[in-house]
Amino acid sequence: MKFGIIGLGYVGLATLCGLAKAGHHVIGVEADEEKLRLLMSGHPPFHEPGMAEVLQEHADQITLTSRIADTEQVDYLILAVGTPSKSDGSCDLSYIEAVLSELNTKHKIVIRSSVPPGTTDLLNIMYPSHTFAIVPEFLQEGRALADVMKPHRVVIGCENLEVAEELAGIYGRLGVPLICTTPINAELIKYASNAFLATKISFMNDLSRLADQAGADISTIADGMGLDPRIGRSFLNAGIGYGGSCFPKDMNALLHVASENEIDLRVIRAAAKVNETQIEYVLSKLNVEPNMRVAILGLAFKPGTDDMRDAPSILLAHHMVARNVDVIGYDPIATWDYPQATTVEEALKGADYAILVTEWDEIVNLAPDAFSGMRQRRLIDARNAWKFVRDPGAVSYEGIGRMQRPSNTPTSN
């Protein structure tokens, strides 16, 4: 089959690569000229394992262009354009609307962008010449291509039975659980999934504050909780909070949709609030003074990617600079607008504090003697990921909720 994909960010490019690997011909449309130039040379505009190899090995099945009109003869047109947050937290659908306004022929359109519940139904009314379906993405940056080729599940939302059956046949070849449902259910499954994962993170971050005061170890607590199959161990790591392009945006959009429907999603709102204040909690562990030097180890919002969207490192640096603290960062692949070292050793040299923010293997496996160049060997482990907690050597170590403070347990009389 022939597919068109409009928008070659993480979702669009991962989808393009997956379809090409599956033997389909794909026309990818990207409006950004620099991104398009890189893609045409076989290089993704961001770090994502496996994508460069697919672009080069399957080049004969991939057509790259900046013209939406080049997709007129495709079997399916996939929309993977951005849906960023507006200032009020609502989802900005202007990029989707701009694409639809340029289409001159009828299309079967699959929406992969994250959109609020009710969007697909609305588009079916606004653009009756097209047939819309939504197949929400559940990709994890750092393994996006793998998640396209073997997702945990596929959700198809479509009111047109013929299109729904055809999409089920295409995605059914992946051999994974498949749900065919209404568009609004599919849209809400996407938002609800991200909101639940974000809430798990915030739950543990909230609990980590109690663990710190009571003298408990939140990592051991997470291990014990995670053995319950009803809970599971993933997303139970306490730390500096979630970031990235999905969780913050989708939480805000879901809360905005709830508000429009006069519903207060109190649990989700509380989870978002905990995440907002977790940076402040991490900062409370530092006794910084003007002209101190702080090394931030890891800049990207998670390992395996160079994505800096809503990365906690940026907000952390902003707070540091506001206190007249000198900040220097290090990351194997990500970059930012603050001073940045090319090696961990360079970042640590002369620093008063080091803060582990992104759990790259290179960083979490730093031996205690790697901190010898610091002015004061103080490590704040904002991901509870450092491998030498049990034997920190001369390093003054503090994690998040890891028994750094004496217990307040009352003694018996």
Task: Please report, in range form, the residues annotated as the binding site for substrate.
Answer: 138-141, 190, 235-239, 243, 302
From 17, 158, 180, 246, active-site residue: 246
Nearest C-alpha neighbor of 246 from the set 79, 45, 11: 11
Q: How far apart are CA 299 and CA 347, in angstroms?
A: 12
How many other C-beta atoms can be found within 10 angstroms of the C-beta atom of residue 318? 12
Q: How far apart are CA 301 and CA 94, in angstroms?
A: 26
Binding residues for NAD(+): 35, 83, 141, 249, 309
Any residues with CB less than 8 A from the CB of 150 and at least 6 apart, and which?
174, 176
Distance (Å) of CA 69 to CA 72, 100, 175:
6, 11, 34
Q: How far apart are CA 335 and CA 326, in angstroms?
A: 17
Binding residues: 35, 83, 138-141, 190, 235-239, 243, 249, 302, 309
Q: How far apart are CA 104 and CA 160, in angstroms?
A: 21
Name the H helices within 84-118: 94-102
Burial of 82 (0-12, 13-18, 19+ CB in 10 A): middle
> Which residue spans within 123-216 are E strands per DSSP?
131-134, 154-157, 178-181
Residue 180 among the catalytic residues: no
Active site residues: 246
